Amino acid sequence: MATDPALSRDEIAQRARQAVETALARNVAGLPRTEDLVPELGFSPTPRELVYSRDLVKLYHYTPVCDEIYRVPLLLVMSLVSKPYIFDIAEGQSLIEFLIGQGHDVYMIDWGVPRPEHAKLSFADYILDFLPDCVEQVCEDSGEPDVTMVGYCLGGTIAAMYAALHPAGPLRNLVCLTTPVNSEGMELQRTWADPEHFDIDRLVDELGNVPPELVVSSIEMLRPLQRASSRMKLLDNVDNDEFVKAHLRIERWANDQIPFPGEVARQMQKDFLVGNKLFRGEFQVGERVVDLGAIRAPFLHVRALHDYLVPEASSRDLIDLVSSEDKHDLMLKGGHVSLIAGGNAKYRLWPQIDAWLAERAV
């Protein structure tokens, strides 16, 4: 498959400036804000129960289908800019459906769609408050003292930071899927986020939350011909109904982004992308500094061979940064999204997660 031609630094800078100006221009008095127009989809075909909610955050428990389940429950942690239904996108295309079918007790956090009043939320709110609160609720609801955390993309980064800052907590196992930690391996994203042309302070100060269309623009910048390539792939498989349905579901999810909480976006740009402070052991959450070397729980690290959103160079160092004696690094064929929800995920990733957890969830 042909790859997208690389954009020059000047082209990326021009696109970044244009995206910022477009987002700011839409902030017209009297017009509804983007976050007011984005409803919570709440999509999930697998039966579930809302067991806890707090402001915009919801915690769901998926109905077990086996008479006997593994003792240690799983808590799925999503990124803050994407909706979590990628974990359970459709019957037969659902990681959650597979996990409960193997006897795992599954919970999932839905971070919700930030509204203007949530613009001040920071990493400290998520990692030191919301996430520990959800972990406590999982333990209370399941009756178990331990939890396995499975984080995807930025959700994996959040889960890893939680694990580093709570080494004595109830975390039994940690699974990180396509998780960025070293921004030097994200060359295009760092160019996009260059303060010379991407004024995050102006964006957050004027808009509060970063609009989802700006998030989509930054993703499309990574592969400028992705939309055309996606159409061609559909045409090549037009007679395969299952492929077409699965492909369109993922495409819909990829474009169903949500606002990025302003203060989190500010720290992501300054401290993560530009400063690379997480990799260097200098990333601050509240008054605390994150040392990924403090992670000692059994650790599974999964990377996608064709991941353009979280390139291998940005994720590979995580396995060496953690101090766990029981740790496993896994590279699988697939892209950032197809790894967990593509047609081959049920053969590549899902059985590997199940097999690894089976020995550690008892």
**According to the 3-state scheme, what is the secondary structure of 38-103?**
CCCCCCCCCCEEEEEEECCEEEEEECCCCCCCCCCCEEEECCCCCCHHHHECCCCCEHHHHHHHCC
CATH number for the region 9-358 comes to: 3.40.50.1820
Of the residues 66, 134, 139, 153, only one is catalytic, namely 153
Catalytic annotation on 134? no
Contact 96, 83 (CB under 8 A): no
Residue 165: alpha-carbon gap to chain centroid: 19
pLDDT given for residue 238 in this prediction: 57
pLDDT given for residue 32 in this prediction: 43
Placement of tokens 């495409």 in the chain: 251
pLDDT given for residue 110 in this prediction: 96
Per-domain residue ranges of the chain: 9-358
| Helix (H/G/I), strand (E/B), else coil: 18 | helix
pLDDT given for residue 191 in this prediction: 82
Per-residue pLDDT of the chain (362 residues; tens, 9 = 90+): 334 455 666 666 666 566 555 655 545 444 444 344 333 334 668 999 999 999 999 999 999 999 999 999 999 999 998 899 999 998 889 999 999 999 999 999 999 999 999 999 999 999 999 999 999 999 999 999 999 999 999 999 999 999 999 998 899 999 999 999 999 999 888 887 888 888 899 989 999 998 887 777 766 665 544 554 555 555 555 566 666 676 677 777 877 888 999 999 999 999 999 999 999 999 999 999 999 999 999 999 999 999 988 999 999 999 999 999 999 999 999 999 999 998 899 999 999 999 999 999 99
Extract the tokens encoding 178.
């396509």
pTM equals 0.84
Extract the tokens encoding 188.
């295009």
HSE-up of 269 (CA within 13 Å, CB side)?
Answer: 24
pLDDT given for residue 189 in this prediction: 82
pLDDT given for residue 235 in this prediction: 57
